[in-house]
Amino acid sequence: MTATLLDGKAFAAALRKGLSSFVDQLKQDHGLKPGLAVVLVGEDPASQVYVRNKHQSTIEAGMASFEYRLPDTTSQSELEALIDELNERSDVNGILVQLPLPDGLDDRALIERIRVDKDVDGFHVENVGMLATGVGKPLVPCTPLGSLLILQDHLGNLSGKNAVVLGRSNIVGKPMAQLLLSENATVEICHSRTQDLADHVRRADILVAAVGRPEMVPGDWIKPGATVIDVGINRIPHPEKPGKFKLVGDVHTASCAEVAGAITPVPGGIGPMTIACLLANTLTATCRQHGLAEPDLLALVRQARGE
């Protein structure tokens, strides 16, 4: 293997450490404790794991965590009333409604009801619009934000680089493309209907794969020296252990690592960045709500690493 492994787990740990120091300072100087409210409806097992991890990380960062675990019989109007209450509360600086919601609930209506400056997922149409236009200060979706930080940490300036984003979801692909564009990269969004996909990917100095298709990008699609960000987390049957599962990304890591300059592993790459960036967004939201200077995330990471 020739590629540098971009250790997202270590990066996320450094970011959480940096955030935690910033939170301590915020308490000392202003008596403020950032608060994150997470709303989980129903019993989806994967969502329960995410929400538990979010709660634990929030507490560890010195922030307040407010969890609402509601039965899948909860009505739309009950959820709307809860959002209204959380919007009003001064001890709640960030609000996240865990997706997917059970059938019959309208996730869009709930997202649009969250106060824009408390929408720490960055899913509200006004945050999406601010990111796309460069007008105002959006909260940015967590996984793309984490991917950008890792890219900037490794590459420095992204200006003029050819970036290919594989996948066009509202959660990752589209906001990732907007972030890269705002850093002056030349950006292509490719997806399931793209013709001659390999030819597009071969021109990428930066590849961000977020399609949810296990190991679909082989090493011979990678431009030598490229930086590969693998957002995929796919569970596949373990090739050697019958009955067991294995986590793989959207790129074939071993063959891509022979050609790439740097690559994020799965697990331990972008996955751990999502929660760290949720905490970062909660802190940013808190600072903005109080008219205080917001954290410079890369500077916090470098400080935490002792650089």
Coil, strand or helix at 211: coil
Burial class (CB in 10 A: 0-12, 13-18, 19+), 278: buried
Report the phi/psi class of residue 167: left, alpha or beta, with left for phi > 0 and alpha for psi in -120 to 50: left
CB nearer to ligand GUN: pick between 185 and 277:
277
Using CB under 6 A, pick the residue from 92, 164, 171, 280 that binds ligand GUN. 171
Name the residue among 46, 48, 101, 43 with its Cα closest to residue 76.
101
Using CB under 6 A, pick the residue from 96, 128, 201, 209 that binds ligand GUN. 96
User: In angstroms, rounded to a whole number, what is the distance separating the alpha carbons of residues 11 and 300?
Assistant: 11
Q: Is 105 in the site for ligand GUN (CB under 6 A)?
A: no
DSSP 238: -
Residues in 182-211 that interact with ligand GUN by CB under 6 A: none
Residue nearest to ligand GUN (CB): 99
Residues in 139-158 that interact with ligand GUN by CB under 6 A: 142
Q: Is 39 in the site for ligand GUN (CB under 6 A)?
A: no
User: In angstroms, rounded to a whole number, what is the distance separating the alpha carbons of residues 8 and 243?
Assistant: 29
Active-site residue set: 54, 98, 121
Q: Is 121 in the site for ligand GUN (CB under 6 A)?
A: yes
- β partners of residue 39: 68, 97
Stretch that binds ligand GUN, among 23-31, 93-101, 201-209, 290-298 (CB under 6 A): 93-101
Residue where the block lists tokens 């929030």: 58
CB nearer to ligand GUN: pick between 121 and 230:
121
Using CB under 6 A, pick the residue from 70, 99, 116, 155 that binds ligand GUN. 99
Binding site for ligand GUN (CB under 6 A): 96-99, 121, 142, 171
